[in-house]
Chain A
Amino acid sequence: MKGLSVENLSVEIAAGGRLLKPVDDVSFSIGADECVALLGESGCGKSITALALMRLLPEGARVAAGRVSLQGEALFDLPEAAMGEVRGGRLAMIFQEPQTSLNPVMTVAEQINEALAAHRKLRGDAALAEAGRLLEAVGLERDRLTAYPFQLSGGQRQRALIAMMLAGEPEVLIADEPTTALDVTVQAQILALLRDLQRQRGMGLLLITHDLDVAKDMADRVAVMYAGQIVEWASRDSLYAQPRHPYTEKLFAVLPRLERRGERLDSLPGRVPPPDARVAGCRFAERCPAVFARCREEAPAFHEAAPGHFARCHLAEPQTSRPDAAWRNPGSAREPSRIPPAPASGLQSEVLSVRDLAVHFPVRKGLLRRTVDHFKAVDGVSLAIKAGETLALVGESGCGKSTLARAILRLLEPTRGEVRVAGEAIGGLSGEALRRKRAEMQIVFQDPFSSLNPRMRIGEILEEGMAALLPLAAPARRARITQLLDQVGLPLDAAGRYPHEFSGGQRQRVAIARALAVQPKLLILDEPTSALDVSVQAQILNLLAELQAEYGLAYLFITHNLPVVGYLAQRVAVMRAGRIVEEGAAETLLTAPRHEYTRLLLDSAPGRGR
């Protein structure tokens, strides 16, 4: 048996007297020069599966059952010393966070040489020469050998990490979300590198990802994971042509696209069962659109729905069909529900207009800390948004888009330029006048965990802005909290609970409700869905679209995700190094870009096939 095969792998974690089973009966295989994608949303157990293969599970977690064999050798039976030779040698792994995955106080050469010494017994000049060759193989200059990780960019670090793992000439390489923390252009380069290396070296590649598009570009076969189990296992072409499990089908349906503008995105209700839940039937039953009685009683087996295409679903059993089979393909069977456009009245009024805004941070040097230079985070940006309109601000990390948002809100003082909100310049405002203006512009942040104070109840969080900005008495505020919770689709008893009791998506709803509480005209959305799973992202995008239609809100939507831009925005501005390089209507800009940087962004986006 060539490659890596995993049979009936189960992992247990003992936590606070409970026994969790984050990975349950997982089987798949990777051929000698094949790329397999392990696809799933956060918490589905895909990373733990990978760590179990490496025998690197964190303390407290252990392999409860299963067999893993590499070229026929059973890894779980090896003594630890022999496993040390396999690990980083025949089986290697790269990680998600390039910022923290390298030892900060060792040079790249030292870190590569360690692996060379451990697995190929190379030392001294021979090791150095080989390390240089490895660096060139991953597309880095040889002189980067003497660099420390802090001297490298994120993409370069990921390349260095790959070089380290190639040092042992692995038969199979595991890549755990290798590009999630990277910008889209860098992601494209790293993915291309991985693909080339895999082909040149005839390696097996296990790619762990949450991104359907990445898996589509990279994988030969795909395993879809849900709640600790593999629910679908098929060749890429078969899976992307016709998914057989309702969960996979839903994953496709919730993806925003340019073509779906104005439609309500399909959504996935409910939550994943917790890893300690004892589910009698199918784990997806509670959220499944095709559920029927048998699903709740009997756990489905892995059925071969088409040749080589397996699904863990009763409906994939050749003879089974559900009494009312009309649930399938909602797109063709039913017209997708559309979100009504915003009311036409008042659409012409400009809510936000920014003229030549710049934020420069001084760079101080020398004995007297004199300002010798300026870092131009935002350097002369102009834009305008009308009521009911969404302007997407697209750019990679460090381009200044978040600084721009803070400067617009006057959380930062701009160096020059003018910001007008509803026709009034806010640069000179202070005290009461500024406070009144703040009610008209609000912001929703990216991270649902740090954007809510963990020591305040949801009710208090929603009330804070009203108390500061609106002339409302306490009973009126309470009534408004109830109304807001209802609007963003949260239960009414949420007001008395603390943020930690809510999921990421629910917290993002709270953050939206908090911004809405003061009845703003402009909402700045700073990557509001980047930290969310795609199924939750769809719910939040739907909510945002509905709110815009109802209140004629103007959105400044900051993102790096181009499909979301196509789905949501009327106009797009592309930002790079503090400046807007191209601006235009979404359809034209996304289909016929004029600036080369826009073209690069579009070309780098995954999901276009190989």
Chain B
Amino acid sequence: MIKPILLWSDVLILVLLWSVAALVWLARENGQMSETLRGPWRQVMRSRVGASTALILAVYVGIGLLDSVHYVERLPDTPGQAAQYGGEVYSALDWVLTPLRENVEKTYSAPFATHLYAKETLQGPVGGEVRDFPRLKYGGAHLADVEREFWPDVLKRGGLGMLAGLLAWFMGYRLTGRSSLSPVPPPGGGGDGGATFALSPTLLFLCLLAGLLVALAPVYHVFGTDKVGQDVLYLSLKSIRTGLLIGSLTTLVMLPFALGLGIAAGYFGGRIDDVIQYLYTTLNSIPGVLLIAAAVLVVQVQIEAHAELFNTAAARSDVRLLALCGILGVTGWTGLARLLRAEALKLRELEFVMAARAFGVSHGRILLRHLLPNVMHLVLITVVLDFSGLVLAEAVLSYVGVGVDPGMISFGNMINGARLELAREPVVWWQLAAAFVFMFVLVLAANLFADQVRDALDPKSSARK
């Protein structure tokens, strides 16, 4: 028996999804998107890089969303009492990854290891005690004779997994992308066919990788285990949601400030401009990390002072995550606002704005109808570019001690927990490597995708290429 739970961040994710859907729906006219709006996106999806990175981002987002469906488990009934629920909050991703989550070893173990990292005192085979590396409880536990069976087992499972991945890819390819087998995308409406064509190598790679992991991860720790024996692959997958949330919710907080203040400053000028410029010069003058640190410290104190409001550890770290996004948003709007102010300064002198003023159109309507649509491309480009910066910033902030809750699984906490272990002999490298690789792929995909979006939306950059 389970009970679904909505954390505050889940609510905001729903709001975010809903507003994106609403924006898309609003942009439709007569049942379809206008070509002006759709054209750039079609261009992005047609390019090989754009389509591949979009696919990779989609996989990340899919994992993140799966990790955002939360529930608590019902405890065994005590007769005569109302149903009790556990304090541990799980997500759909946890459920999918149950074997990974539950196969906890004692401490570090290397990727694909069958024995623990540290020696222990064991009962020898002929009695008496020996110091040796004990077998892992779960990793490779199904092997009777490790020396002989390990490689054949890994190869067999891996091969079967990749075969299954290949099969899945082929099925999907035949089902969805039949028309796209021709190298030239069909003219007119067939833009998606072209995208599928561009995707297929990336998709193939992802399918093979997924097959490999599904086959091997339940019986081996493919990325090893961390200090307390948790599977590193599990930790990496769980970190994705944190990274994505920081990247996207921060934007949600930042946008109203940047849009409202930036455009207003440029359009109205005069006193309003002075005040807004004063605001962002003041905010800018405080060193970024310090301002964030100061705010996070304050939030931390407040959370500790009102501990009674949060009944689970998950709820507490969730609120801290949201606070962090809020702080990053409130301190991070100045760059975009300055950009928009400069653009609005230019736009307000343009003749179509003059014409609207000659009609006596209200300022609000001019801002909404004439200025906002003409800066949206800048906003979009900035948002996509900022995303990767924020994912990277999370790791640094966690290191400084003002990131997400130390109990929350995130790339930053993974790195933070493992960085000192490089001094050990032999080196414990896998936890760091996993966090860096997962982060690198996400950020690289986002950066490349941002480039494509900019090329499609910014008339200036296409000339630059």
Residue positions of A touching B, CB distance < 8 A:
406, 409, 411, 434-435, 438, 441-443, 445-447, 450-456, 461, 464-465, 468-469, 498, 500, 511, 514-515, 518
Interface core residue of A438, A442, A452, A464 (most chain B CB under 10 Å): A464
Contact across chains for B355 and A469 when beta carbons are under 8 A apart: no
Secondary structure call for the B interface: helix
Chain A positions within 8 Å of B358 at CB level:
409, 411, 438, 441-443
What are 11 contact pairs spanning A and B, CB under 8 A?
A411-B358, A435-B360, A438-B358, A450-B350, A451-B352, A452-B352, A453-B352, A455-B373, A468-B359, A469-B360, A518-B359
> 3 closest A-B pairs (Cβ-Cβ)?
A455-B373, A451-B351, A445-B351
Closest B residue to A517 by beta carbon equals: B359
Contact across chains for B360 and A453 when beta carbons are under 8 A apart: no
CA distance A450 to B346 in the complex (A): 11
In-complex Cβ contact of B355 among A454, A500, A511 (8 A): A511
Chain A positions within 8 Å of B356 at CB level:
464
Q: B182: CB under 8 A from chain A?
A: no
Closest A residue to B373 by beta carbon equals: A455
Chain A positions within 8 Å of B36 at CB level:
455, 498, 500
Contact across chains for A450 and B359 when beta carbons are under 8 A apart: no
Known contacts A511-B355, A514-B355; is A468 also within 8 Å of B360 by CB? yes
Q: Mark out the residues of chain B between 86 and 145 whose CB falls within 8 Å of any chain A CB in the assembled complex.
A: none
Contact across chains for B361 and A453 when beta carbons are under 8 A apart: no
CA distance A484 to B243 in the complex (A): 54
CA distance A600 to B342 in the complex (A): 41
Q: Mark out the residues of chain B between 349 and 384 whose CB falls within 8 Å of any chain A CB in the assembled complex.
A: 350-352, 354-361, 369-370, 373-374
Chain B positions within 8 Å of A468 at CB level:
359-361
Q: Mark out the residues of chain B between 326 and 361 whose CB falls within 8 Å of any chain A CB in the assembled complex.
A: 350-352, 354-361
Minimum Cβ distance to chain A for residue B84 (Å): 57
Minimum Cβ distance to chain A for residue B389 (Å): 28
Contact across chains for A453 and B359 when beta carbons are under 8 A apart: no
Chain B positions within 8 Å of A454 at CB level:
374
8 further contact pairs, Cβ within 8 A, besides A434-B360, A453-B352, A453-B369: A441-B358, A443-B358, A450-B350, A451-B351, A456-B373, A468-B359, A468-B360, A511-B355
Closest B residue to A443 by beta carbon equals: B358
Minimum Cβ distance to chain B for residue A240 (Å): 37
CA distance A308 to B370 in the complex (A): 55
Minimum Cβ distance to chain A for residue B273 (Å): 15
Chain B positions within 8 Å of A450 at CB level:
350-352
Chain B positions within 8 Å of A465 at CB level:
359, 361
In-complex Cβ contact of A445 among B354, B360, B361 (8 A): B354
Contact across chains for B360 and A438 when beta carbons are under 8 A apart: yes
Chain A positions within 8 Å of B352 at CB level:
450-453, 461
Closest B residue to A438 by beta carbon equals: B360
Contact across chains for B355 and A451 when beta carbons are under 8 A apart: yes
Chain B positions within 8 Å of A469 at CB level:
359-360
Chain A positions within 8 Å of B355 at CB level:
443, 445, 451, 511, 514-515
CA distance A515 to B351 in the complex (A): 13
Contact across chains for A456 and B360 when beta carbons are under 8 A apart: no
Chain A positions within 8 Å of B354 at CB level:
406, 411, 443, 445
CA distance A514 to B352 in the complex (A): 11
CA distance A409 to B357 in the complex (A): 9
Contact across chains for B361 and A464 when beta carbons are under 8 A apart: yes
Closest B residue to A451 by beta carbon equals: B351
Contact across chains for B374 and A455 when beta carbons are under 8 A apart: yes
In-complex Cβ contact of B370 among A435, A453, A500 (8 A): A453
Contact across chains for A411 and B360 when beta carbons are under 8 A apart: no
In-complex Cβ contact of B359 among A456, A464, A498 (8 A): A464
Chain A positions within 8 Å of B361 at CB level:
464-465, 468
Minimum Cβ distance to chain B for residue A440 (Å): 11
Chain B positions within 8 Å of A446 at CB level:
351
CA distance A441 to B359 in the complex (A): 9
CA distance A452 to B351 in the complex (A): 7
CA distance A438 to B361 in the complex (A): 10
CA distance A453 to B36 in the complex (A): 13
Closest B residue to A520 by beta carbon equals: B358
CA distance A464 to B353 in the complex (A): 12
